[in-house]
Structure 1
Amino acid sequence: MQSNEIAALINHVAMGDRTAFATLYQATNPKLFSICLRILKDRPDAEEALQEIYIKVWQRSKTFATSAGTASSWLASIARNHAIDTIRARKPVADDLDEAYDLADENSPDPEQQVAIADEGRRIDRCMQELDAVRARAVRSAYVEGLSYLELSDELKVPLNTVRTWLRRSLLKLRECMQR
């Protein structure tokens, strides 16, 4: 199915057309399922995520704008972000931690790499200091501690979309700072 046909289906879904929604599901679920399966690496989790993704598609179809990108990329980003949020929401299991430590030992950097890593760390710290304190805390919580956007929203007592905006803008500022 062509991207413009998918976009038209999404627009019909935005008007509450259940038939268009069923057609959209039939046309796009294999791709979205493969995205979920690749990220989550567990078929039952991917199937559950897929159901939740289509609920989001139904709810967010009114926000789809063809000028912002293709319909396929809009759907894929919803699937990807949901799958990543699902992983972030999981709490680590002791076995996973042990495995991570084992992998870390095998990939220990040599002294030259350690110096480069330390230098990079100092640059990141300097750039983090340029961010607003609350936003820097949000970045650390999300990308170092692994908190989900929803957990951050609850912790910071701000709307979920505000957290997403803060993180996106902060990452852009960090990227700009790191490229100097």
Structure 2
Amino acid sequence: MVEVQAESPGKGRLPVTAGALRLSAAAPERMTSLAPYKGQAAALSGAMQAAHGMGWPKPGRMTGRKGARAMWFGREMALLIGPEPDPGLAAHAAIVDQSDAWAVLVLEGPEAAQVLARLCPLDLRDQVFKRGHVARTEVAHMAGAIARMGADNWRIMVFRSMTGTLIHEAETAMRRVAARRNSPV
């Protein structure tokens, strides 16, 4: 019998560096979509607070902390990232494990926002897209999401089957941004 083992979606292709920029795979975490039943959003937020120490995220934001976050993921939808969802949440929301559906890459470096500006149509300036902000958006012509985890630390999410394309597009953008820094003016 063949034994199937899970592999990182970027295995053999990550990490990638260009200048001070680094693209790597995020540590695998459980990801569960939560979609509140009609009229249950407030009850779901309270149940999340009681069970996981975080409430429902506002649009475009995250709640929680490292190891246990709730990330806004569209209208009436959030991703619980890290913990296994408390069974009590099922009384208030549809719950679906998304762990194998998404690839999550980490882009770090002082010019990371410039790289992302080449990949997605968002205003990523510090005063607009702050730490804890998240957006569902097009990422290099793919459906995805961008989250700002710190000043120079970003998470990029695409469907797992698109990981190779994302790595290629991000690496190309990284090399171009790094080349601008090193080219004579």
Q: TM-score range by the shorter chain?
A: under 0.3
TM-score between both structures, scaled by the size of structure 2: 0.25
Q: Which has the larger radius of gyration?
A: 1
Where relative contact order (Cα < 8 A, 6+ residues apart) is larger, the structure is 2
TM-score between both structures, scaled by the size of structure 1: 0.26
